[in-house]
Homo-oligomer: A and B are copies of this chain.
Amino acid sequence: MTTVTHFMVLSNGQFNAVYNALSFVFAAMLASFVFFLLIRPRISQKNQAALILTTLVVLIAGYHYLRIFNSWNESFHYAALRGDYIQSGPPFNEAYRYVDWLLTVPLLLAELVLVLRLKWEESRSLIIRLGVASLFMIGLGYPGELAASDSTARLVWGGLSTLFFLYILYVLFVELTRTLGNQPPRVKSLVGAMRWILLVTWLVYPIAYILPRFISNEATALVVRQIGYSLADVLAKPLFGLLAVVIMILKTKEEEGEKALL
C-alpha cells in the first residue's frame, strides 16, 4: 500500500478544461437522446431495433457522464486564496468509464450489424462474437488501468485486451465487408464511415493507456486523458448514432418508395 504524500494540484485552466469537456459531452448525450426519441416515428418498424440500441447507448453514456462530472467536482476543491484546485476530495472515479463501455460497446457493435438488416442467422452470429470479444477487450483492460505503477502488469493486461481488439477489427473489416455486397452504395459508404469512427476513437483508449509513459506530469496526463476520452465518446456515440440514423432513413425511404425526411 502506498502512502499519500501529496495532493495533486490543477490550475484553474486545467480543472475547467476537463469540467467543460465533461459538461459538453453530457449535453451532447442528452440532446442526441432526445433527438433519437423524436426521430422515431420517421423510422420504419423494420429499422427500429437499431434505433432503440442507439437511443440506449446515449442514455447510458449520458448517465455516466453526469456521474463522472460529479465525481470530478467532488474530487477537487477550489483553493480561493491560491486560485487553483487541489485534489483533496475522494479520488476521481475512472471506473465509471469502464462500466459505461461494458454496457455501450456491445450495444454499439450490435447496432452496426443490425442497421444492415442481414439475415437473422448472420446477424446473430456477428452480434454474439463481437459482443463477447468486446467484453473481454474491456474487462481485461481494466486491471491494467488499475496497475498504474506496475508496467509489467500494464503490458500483460493491455496485451491480452489488444488481442480481442484485433479480433473485433478482423470481424468488422473482413467478415462484415463480405456482407456489404447487397447494400446500396450510400449505405456502404456510411457503414464504412461508422467502422472507421469505431477504429479511430478506440485508438484513443490505448493512447490514453500508455500516456503516463510519455507525459510524466500526472496532472497534465490526467487532463489530456479526460479530454481525449470525452472527444472520443462524442464521436463514437452521438455522431456514430447519427450516421446509423441516416442509414435507417435511407432504408425506410427505400421501403416506402417515397421522399421521407431529409
Q: Which A residues have a C-beta under 8 Å from some C-beta of B?
A: 1-4, 7, 11-12, 16, 19-20, 23-24, 26-28, 30-31, 34-35, 38-40, 42, 45-46, 48-49, 52, 55-56, 59-60, 63-64, 67, 78, 80-83, 88-91, 93, 95-96, 99-100, 102-103, 120, 260-262
Contacts and interface: CB of A to CB of B under 8 A. Distances in A.
Contacts of A64: 27
B83 A56 contact: no
22 contacts: A4-B80, A4-B82, A4-B83, A7-B80, A16-B91, A19-B93, A20-B99, A23-B96, A24-B102, A27-B60, A27-B99, A27-B100, A30-B59, A31-B103, A35-B52, A38-B40, A38-B55, A42-B45, A42-B48, A49-B261, A49-B262, A78-B90
Copies in the complex: 2
Nearest to A64: B27
Contacts of A59: 30-31, 34
Given A27-B60, A56-B31, A59-B30, A12 B91 contact: yes
| 9 closest Cβ pairs, A-B complex | A78-B90, A4-B83, A20-B95, A24-B99, A38-B52, A31-B56, A31-B60, A80-B88, A27-B63
Contact of A20 (B16, B31, B60, B93): B93
Nearest to A100: B27
A87 to B, nearest CB: 9
Given A27-B103, A31-B103, A34-B56, 12 more contacts: A4-B81, A4-B82, A12-B91, A23-B67, A30-B59, A30-B60, A34-B55, A38-B40, A38-B48, A38-B55, A42-B48, A45-B260
Contacts of A35: 52, 56
A99 B30 CA distance: 14
Contacts of A55: 34, 38
B83 A2 contact: yes
Nearest to A95: B20
Contacts of A38: 40, 48, 52, 55
